[in-house]
């Protein structure tokens, strides 16, 4: 487990699939200059997805090897695929930046929170069931993947009340603006406290 220094922050974007977590996280991350730590995944890349950009796509064999070597801070199985964050990637990111961001399902967000307490800020992004379904169809995801995502929509939604902040995402620019403001508050507080 990576030891965090006093002011280091982990921003976790969580919520149901299709709510807009990746889109928002990457926009806010680049505006505020915070670094993303990419997960490892055993699922196959979808059309348009790029290794090293969307995930580190690896084989189940390699995943198992890394897992057995204790390399993952956090590892979950979702619909027969494994997803995890590597200790060394988190450590390396903190060498360049005092604040990193992750995109995790609620299970992963909870694991990180339990590990790192106040260092973790959970931002819950959501939209209604119909909207997330339509967005995923428009994105070109298969009906099978969408049905699988929707099968845990309600349980994902129930995590909202435990998160530090929650945002309904309909007007994208508006959501990005609100989240950037919230995070600027955390980052400024950090600068003031360092003075």
Ligand X SMILES: Nc1ncnc2c1ncn2[C@@H]1O[C@H](COP(=O)(O)OP(=O)(O)O)[C@@H](O)[C@H]1O
Ligand Y SMILES: Nc1nc2c(ncn2[C@@H]2O[C@H](COP(=O)(O)OP(=O)(O)O)[C@@H](O)[C@H]2O)c(=O)[nH]1
Q: Is 20 in the site for ligand Y (CB under 6 A)?
A: no
- In the bound complex, what is the minimum distance in angstroms from residue 8's beta carbon to ligand Y? 19
- In the bound complex, what is the minimum distance in angstroms from residue 15's beta carbon to ligand X? 6
Q: Which listed residue (9, 103, 163, 183) binds ligand Y by CB under 6 A?
A: 103
- In the bound complex, what is the minimum distance in angstroms from residue 66's beta carbon to ligand X? 24
Cα distance between residue 41 and residue 54, in whole Å: 10
Q: Which listed residue (4, 10, 20, 110) binds ligand X by CB under 6 A?
A: 20
Cα distance between residue 89 and residue 10, in whole Å: 13
Q: Is 29 in the site for ligand X (CB under 6 A)?
A: no
Burial of 143 (0-12, 13-18, 19+ CB in 10 A): exposed
Name which of 39, 60, 26, 52 is nearest 179 in CA terms: 26
Q: Which residues pair with 102 in a beta bridge?
A: 12
Name which of 26, 35, 36 is nearest 176 in CA terms: 26
> From the CB of residue 147, how many other CB atoms can be counted at a distance below 10 Å?
12
Q: Is 160 in the site for ligand X (CB under 6 A)?
A: no
- In the bound complex, what is the minimum distance in angstroms from residue 68's beta carbon to ligand X? 29
Query: What DSSP element (H or E) covers 96?
Result: helix 87-96
User: Which residue minimizes CB distance to ligand Y?
Assistant: 108
Q: Is 84 in the site for ligand X (CB under 6 A)?
A: no
Q: List residues near ligand X by CB under 6 A.
A: 17-23, 135, 139, 169-170, 172
Q: List residues near ligand Y by CB under 6 A.
A: 17, 39, 43, 74, 76, 78, 83-85, 103-105, 107-108, 145
């Amino acid at each position: 487990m990576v030891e965090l220094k006093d002011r280091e922050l982990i921003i976790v974007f969580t919520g149901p699939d299709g709510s807009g977590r990746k889109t928002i996280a990457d926009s806010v991350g680049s505006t505020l200059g915070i670094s993303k730590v990419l997960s490892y995944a055993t699922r196959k890349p979808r059309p348009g997805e790029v290794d090293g950009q969307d995930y580190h796509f690896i084989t189940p064999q390699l995943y198992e090897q890394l897992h057995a070597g204790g390399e993952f801070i956090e590892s979950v199985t979702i619909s027969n695929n494994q997803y995890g964050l590597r200790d060394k990637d988190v450590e390396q990111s903190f060498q360049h930046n005092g604040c990193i961001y992750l995109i995790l399902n609620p299970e992963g967000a909870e694991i990180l929170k339990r590990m790192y307490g106040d260092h973790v800020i959970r931002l819950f992004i959501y939209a209604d069931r119909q909207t997330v379904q339509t967005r995923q169809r428009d994105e070109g995801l298969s009906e099978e993947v969408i049905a699988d995502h929707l099968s845990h929509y309600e349980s994902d939604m129930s995590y909202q009340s435990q998160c530090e902040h929650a945002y309904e995402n309909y007007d994208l620019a508006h959501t990005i603006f609100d989240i950037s403001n919230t995070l600027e508050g955390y980052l400024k507080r950090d600068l003031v406290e360092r003075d």
